């Protein structure tokens, strides 16, 4: 169980817990009490384990950053600040070899030049002419399916995807120097139909149990994890 | 290139999970094998020698400067192979230049 996430009352607690626990039904990222109607828009690797991000205008809360994280990362630039920690399971290579040991894995503020949230923000938040797929591409796609601008920010989608990648790794590779690449498909579901599907990739340090980078493939139907 | 054509922008930077430093959205014409090999080697040096998980610290000033110099050579080589119509953008010389060593006091 992701203790740090559970403590964050200001964020989408239900979604976080359901994702972290791998619950049987789709996660619901909204305040309790609301009974949505109409088409449900979800994101995730599978419909069954997907996260509800909106229904006909219902509000949801971003869940990655809280005010403390924002202060630590964006104001005082504390590279070591841990934004979030997730419990991960061991992952093996297709031939059964060791790839990832499992254990508590951190996303830290990092820096633009190194790794972590700042690196992902710097290189993979926004698309460019040379880099057409980014986390904003996924956010825009989700907004298009919702019919309004989603209240989740780019890094909420990033973190949902990273958790999915560690829970349902589809393609993996060892990158050398204790870095691994883990990827899967990340879909935006309208009811139970995937409207958009992206390959998303995480690079993690297995000796530091650290998220180094995470990004959607520019060629959206290809994983970037290959030997 | 026709004067009415817009240039194709190509970002050039090393990153985690990428064997080449070229970000073009999969639109580039093929480059020579020799140049591709040099590009892969340059990224590998960033990933394994600099290995900037926590900080930008080259083993020594000369190694860092050699890597920056090789990157600038590769940018020029890519531009030469692609020809006109492509604009290469890079910031690795700002991001990953080594700190100049301070002189020891006697």
Residue A206 near residue A93 (C-beta atoms within 8 A)? no
pLDDT tens digits, A66-88: 889 999 999 999 999 999 999 99
Q: Can you give the pLDDT at residue A40?
A: 76
Exposed, middle or buried, B95 (CB in 10 Å: 0-12/13-18/19+)? Answer: middle
| The pLDDT of residue A9 is above 80 | no
Model pTM? 0.82
List residues of chain B with CB under 8 Å from any CB of chain A: 8-11, 13, 15-18, 23-26, 44, 47-48, 51-56, 89, 95-96
| The pLDDT of residue A187 is above 60 | yes
φ/ψ of A175, rounded to 5, equals: -95, 0
Q: Which range (A61-65, A165-169, B33-37) has the least confidence?
A: A61-65
Q: Which of B17, B52, B54 sits opposite A201 (nearest CB)?
A: B17
To the nearest whole Å, the CA of A143 is away from the closest chain B CA by 23
pLDDT-based confidence at A196, cuts 50/70/90? very high
Q: What is the ipTM of this complex?
A: 0.88
Say which residue, A25 or A90, is predicted with more confidence.
A90
Nearest CA in chain A to B91: A113
pLDDT-based confidence at A99, cuts 50/70/90? very high
Q: What is the mean pLDDT of residues A44-50?
A: 82
All residues at 6 or more sequence positions from A117 whose CB lies less than 8 Å from its CB, including other chains? A73, A83, A107, A108, A109, A110, A155
The ranges assigned to domains in chain B are 8-24+32-95
- Cross-strand pairs, A190: A41, A193
Written as tens digits, the pLDDT of chain B (106 aa) is: 544 578 888 999 999 999 999 988 777 889 999 999 999 999 999 999 999 999 999 999 999 999 999 999 999 999 999 999 899 999 999 999 998 887 655 5
Identify all chain A residues contacting B47, using CB atoms and an 8 Å cutoff: 175-177, 179
Q: Which of B9, B44, B54 sits opposite A128 (nearest CB)?
A: B9
Interface contacts (A, B; CB < 8 Å):
67
Say which residue, A216 or A37, is predicted with more confidence.
A216
Nearest CA in chain A to B52: A114
**Is A212 an 8 Å CB contact of chain B?**
yes
Q: What is the mean pLDDT of residues A33-58?
A: 67
**Is A175 an 8 Å CB contact of chain B?**
yes
Identify all chain A residues contacting B51, using CB atoms and an 8 Å cutoff: 177
Identify all chain A residues contacting B9, using CB atoms and an 8 Å cutoff: 128-130
Q: What is the mean pLDDT of residues A16-21?
A: 34
Q: Can you give the pLDDT at residue B106?
A: 54
| The pLDDT of residue A105 is above 90 | yes
Q: What is the mean pLDDT of residues A165-171?
A: 95
Q: Can you give the pLDDT at residue A11?
A: 34
Are A130 and B11 an interchain contact pair (Cβ–Cβ within 8 Å)?
Answer: yes
Say which residue, A59 or B55, is predicted with more confidence.
B55
Are A212 and B15 an interchain contact pair (Cβ–Cβ within 8 Å)?
Answer: no
């Amino acid at each position: 169980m992701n203790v740090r996430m559970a403590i964050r009352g200001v964020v989408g607690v239900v979604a976080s817990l359901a994702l972290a626990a791998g619950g049987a039904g789709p996660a619901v990222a909204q305040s309790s009490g609301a009974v949505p109607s109409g088409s449900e828009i979800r994101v995730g690797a599978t419909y069954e384990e997907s996260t509800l991000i909106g229904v006909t205008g219902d509000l949801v809360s971003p869940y990655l950053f809280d005010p403390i994280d924002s202060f630590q990362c964006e104001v005082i630039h504390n590279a070591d600040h841990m934004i979030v920690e997730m419990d991960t399971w061991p992952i093996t290579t297709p031939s059964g070899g060791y790839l990832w040991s499992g254990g508590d894995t951190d996303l830290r503020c990092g820096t633009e030049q190194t790794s972590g949230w700042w690196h992902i923000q710097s290189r993979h938040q926004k698309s460019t002419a040379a880099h057409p797929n980014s986390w904003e591409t996924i956010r825009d796609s989700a907004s298009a399916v919702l019919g309004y601008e989603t209240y989740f920010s780019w890094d909420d989608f990033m973190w949902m995807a990273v958790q999915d990648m560690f829970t349902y790794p589809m393609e993996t590779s060892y990158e050398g120097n204790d870095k691994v690449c883990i990827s899967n498909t990340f879909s935006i579901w309208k009811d139970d139909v995937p409207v958009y599907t992206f390959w998303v990739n995480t690079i993690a340090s297995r000796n530091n149990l650290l998220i180094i980078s995470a990004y959607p493939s520019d060629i959206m139907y290809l994983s970037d994890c290959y030997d | 290139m026709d004067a009415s054509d817009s240039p194709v922008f190509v970002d050039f930077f090393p990153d985690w999970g990428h064997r080449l430093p070229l970000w073009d959205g999969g639109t580039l014409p093929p480059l020579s094998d020799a140049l591709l090999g040099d590009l892969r080697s340059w990224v590998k040096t960033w990933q394994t020698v600099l290995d900037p998980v926590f900080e930008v610290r080259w083993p020594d000033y000369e190694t860092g400067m050699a890597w920056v110099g090789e990157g600038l050579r590769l940018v020029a080589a890519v531009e030469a192979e692609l020809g006109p119509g492509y604009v290469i953008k890079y910031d690795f010389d700002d991001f990953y230049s080594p700190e100049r060593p301070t002189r020891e006091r006697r």
